[in-house]
Structure formats: structure tokens, C-alpha cells
Chains A and B, each alone.
Chain A
Amino acid sequence: MIYSDVALSAVCLAVVLDLFLLKSRMMTRGIFWLTYFLILPFQLLTNWWLTSNKIVMYTDTEIIGQRLAGAPIEDLLFGFSMILLTISAWEFFKDRLNKNKISL
């Protein structure tokens, strides 16, 4: 399991959680994709800062080697999974908190 495998697994986990377990289904909503594509350039900016200054470094055998803005391409998968999971969990817990309020 190198970074590439884990990053791909993280995307799968986030998608399964979003669609079937948390059931927020953010992936089916335009607002999620709009949010994602607004954040993406900022992810690339911070990736560039962290990698071009060698603040964070990656072991060659842990990545496929393709890079974007200085960082391994796998970082895109990591970023996508975290943004999806964050918004999906936010909507899930928001519904839960609201339901609790009504039942009280």
C-alpha cells in the first residue's frame, strides 16, 4: 500500500460514505462541485509552497511520480476525499442536530 493506493481508497471511502452511509449525496449537487473547484487552486497554491520549499518531502517509491504544482498527483485524490467528506459529514450532522431539536 503506497500513497497512491491509500489516496485512491480514501476517495472510494469518501464516495461510499457520502452516497450510502451518511446519505448527504453531496456529489450529486452542484454546490459541492462549485465549492470543490473554488478550493482546488488554493490546494495547489499551498501544495506548491510546501513542496517547493521542501517543507514536506515524499519518498519516490511511495508515489507514481507524476507531479502537479510541485506535489504528487496523489494529493489531488487526498484533497478531493477530504473536501467531500467534510461537507458530507457537515450536512449529516446538521440534519442530526436539527432532528434532535424537533424531538425535544
Chain B
Amino acid sequence: MENLHYAYVLIFIAICAVGVNFGFKLHFSKKLKLFLLTDSLILVIYLIWDFWAVSKGSWFFDSNQILGIMLLGKLPIEEVLFFIIVPMMTVLTYLALTKLTGWGRENEEMK
């Protein structure tokens, strides 16, 4: 189970994401196109950075604590999933707080 250590982080965030989505009735599944556009920007920027940093050795991973599936032979698949799941959780948090507080951009602009 040691090779799931990094994956636990992703599973934990994914569980939070599902809980927030249904708990706040955010209908994220209807916003997948928008999320895909948003995350494509994030993926391009942060995967290039990550790949470059791993190549020069800024940071590195314990091969026993990751699944072992590597992108371009260097980046653990967990890193790619991180840059999908974390932005998803960020958006869900933002949507939930917007709903909760009524501080959304639309509300401000309607004033």
C-alpha cells in the first residue's frame, strides 16, 4: 500500500470535491466544458514548470510511494492528476462560497 501514499492526497481531495459538489448542489457536471478550458491553461503552465523542475532536480519523488506510472519518463501520473483535481476543488470551493455569501461577481455587477 506504500505506493498509494501520494495517491491518498488525491483521493482525499476528490472525496471533498464530491461532498462539496453535492452538498452545495453546484451541478459541476454541467460546467465541465468551462472547467476543461480553465484547467487546460493550468495544465500547460504548471506541467511545463513541473517537468522543468524535475529535470533540473529542484524536487524529486520517492519511487516507493508513487504508483510508478510516469509521464515522459519523469513526471509521476499523480502530478498530472494533482493539476486536475486541485483546480477542480478550487473552483468548487469558490462556487460554494459564492453561493453561501452571495458575494459573486454577478451580484456585484447587478448593483
Q: Hey, which bits of chain A sit against chain B, CB under 8 A?
A: 2-3, 6, 10, 13, 29-32, 34-35, 38-39, 42, 46, 49-50, 53-59, 62, 82-83, 85-87, 89-91, 93-94, 96-97
Contacts and interface: CB of A to CB of B under 8 A. Distances in A.
Interface of B: 5-6, 8-9, 12-13, 16, 33-35, 37-39, 41-42, 45-46, 49, 53, 56-62, 65-66, 86-87, 89-91, 93-94, 97-98, 101, 103-105, 108
Contacts, number: 109
Majority SS of interface residues in chain A?
Answer: helix
Contacts of A42: 13, 16
A9 to B, nearest CB: 9
Given A31-B103, A55-B65, A93 B59 contact: no
A53 B65 contact: yes
A55 B34 contact: no
B62 to A, nearest CB: 6
Contact of B90 (A6, A30, A87, A91): A87
Contact of B94 (A50, A85, A87): A87
